[in-house]
């Protein structure tokens, strides 16, 4: 009886890291950021469904040679038209872009099954489709805002952060990176915006980061057509700490996913543990 307790201990030791996935660095690629699906659904095996499938196939194929593209699939009737685009982060190589979009499309298929429209942001790419056109339309709606806990009174780090964010505003272009000391920032527009619209969108995202994520160790501001994010050296400690005191982050999807991974890991370890206990009970000679 007393024998099993060390193994139970090791079971829980394994569960802890699995159920608190670390915050991803700004340059990772495939991890989940957010997903959104429309309420309206389409009928299975409808013409609209086959149009979505050909749209998503086109996006995946295009991502092997371009970091942005848009498609409009015309149906035989006007209500079957579907619009879609993808945007890879500016630093991704073409193979990485294709991998990211492929992954994103397959996750969309599961997460937004039979939804008329869906949008999924991974760290490295964004994919969206809908039956209402959104191509070429600037949209500064806040889709995801996430602020880390307050950095406290480290005014030095905060002034470096403000400098990095300020530089992101003036850098120009659809993809912008900057850093100062341990502070890193990145901004990305979706490729259907003009340079002027992109500038406007990034300025808005950064203004909101500054006002909403005041003294936060890290911040993410995803608007419908662009995003801006930053991390400081303290982000690392924040992501490693189990309790996020001031981190009222709103990324429930990430948490749910972490919990599911934790549960799966727990089940797997339980099976290994029970197998082991059975072996021990059966003794060296077997039955």
Ligand X SMILES: *[C@@H]1O[C@H](CO)[C@@H](O)[C@H](O)[C@H]1NC(C)=O
Strand partners, 223: 142
Closest distance of CB 253 from ligand X, Å: 24
Question: Using CB under 6 A as the criterion, what x/- string covers residues 94-133 for binding ligand X?
Answer: ----------------------x--------------xx-
Residue numbers 201-260 binding ligand X by CB under 6 A: none
Out of 80, 96, 192, 220, the residue judged to bind ligand X by CB under 6 A? 192
Beta strands 125-130 and 183-189: pairing type?
Answer: unpaired
Closest distance of CB 79 from ligand X, Å: 6
**Nearest residue (CB) to ligand X, 79 versus 106:** 79
- The widest CA-to-CA distance across the chain, in whole angstroms, is 77
**Nearest residue (CB) to ligand X, 5 versus 77:** 77
d(CA 282, CA 276): 10
Is position 135 an interface residue for ligand X (rule: CB under 6 A)? yes
Out of 36, 136, 166, 266, the residue judged to bind ligand X by CB under 6 A? 136
**Where would I find the H helices in the chain?**
4-19, 47-62, 94-111, 155-171, 195-212, 234-240, 252-282
Closest distance of CB 188 from ligand X, Å: 15
Size of the site for ligand X (CB under 6 A): 10
Contact 96, 29 (CB under 8 A): yes
Place of tokens 């964004």: 126
Closest distance of CB 72 from ligand X, Å: 8
Number of residue whose CB is nearest ligand X: 136
- Residue 201, both tokens: 């969108």
**Nearest residue (CB) to ligand X, 40 versus 240:** 40
Residue numbers 34-93 binding ligand X by CB under 6 A: 40, 42, 70, 79
Range 14-31 burial, b when 16+ CB lie within 10 A, else e: bbeebbbbebbebeebeb
Instruction: Tell me which H or E stretch contains 246.
Output: none
Give contact residues for ligand X (rule: CB under 6 A): 40, 42, 70, 79, 116, 131-132, 135-136, 192
């Amino acid at each position: 009886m007393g024998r099993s307790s060390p193994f139970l201990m090791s079971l829980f030791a394994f569960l802890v890291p699995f159920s608190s996935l670390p915050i991803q660095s700004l340059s990772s690629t495939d991890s989940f950021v957010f997903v959104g699906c429309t309420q309206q659904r389409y009928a299975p095996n409808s013409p609209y469904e086959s149009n979505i499938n050909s749209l998503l196939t086109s996006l995946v194929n295009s991502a092997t040679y371009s970091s942005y593209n848009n498609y409009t699939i015309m149906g035989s009737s006007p209500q079957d038209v579907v619009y879609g685009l993808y945007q890879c982060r500016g630093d991704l190589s073409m193979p990485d872009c294709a991998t990211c979009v492929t992954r994103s499309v397959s996750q969309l298929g599961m997460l937004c099954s039979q939804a008329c429209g869906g949008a999924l942001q991974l760290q490295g790419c964004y994919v969206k489709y809908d039956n209402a056109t959104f191509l070429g339309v600037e949209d500064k709606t806040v889709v995801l805002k996430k602020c880390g806990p307050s950095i406290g009174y480290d005014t030095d780090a905060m002034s470096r952060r403000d400098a990095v964010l300020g530089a992101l505003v003036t850098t120009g272009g659809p993809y912008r990176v900057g850093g100062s000391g341990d502070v890193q920032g990145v901004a990305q527009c979706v490729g259907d915006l003009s340079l002027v619209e992109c500038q406007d969108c990034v300025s808005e995202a950064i203004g909101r980061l500054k006002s909403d994520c005041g003294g936060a160790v890290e911040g993410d501001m995803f608007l419908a057509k662009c995003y801006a994010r930053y991390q400081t050296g303290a982000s690392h400690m924040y992501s490693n700490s189990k309790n996020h005191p001031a981190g009222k982050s709103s990324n429930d999807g990430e948490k749910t996913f972490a919990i599911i991974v934790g549960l799966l890991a727990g089940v797997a370890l339980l099976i290994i543990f029970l197998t082991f206990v059975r072996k021990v009970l059966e003794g060296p000679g077997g039955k």
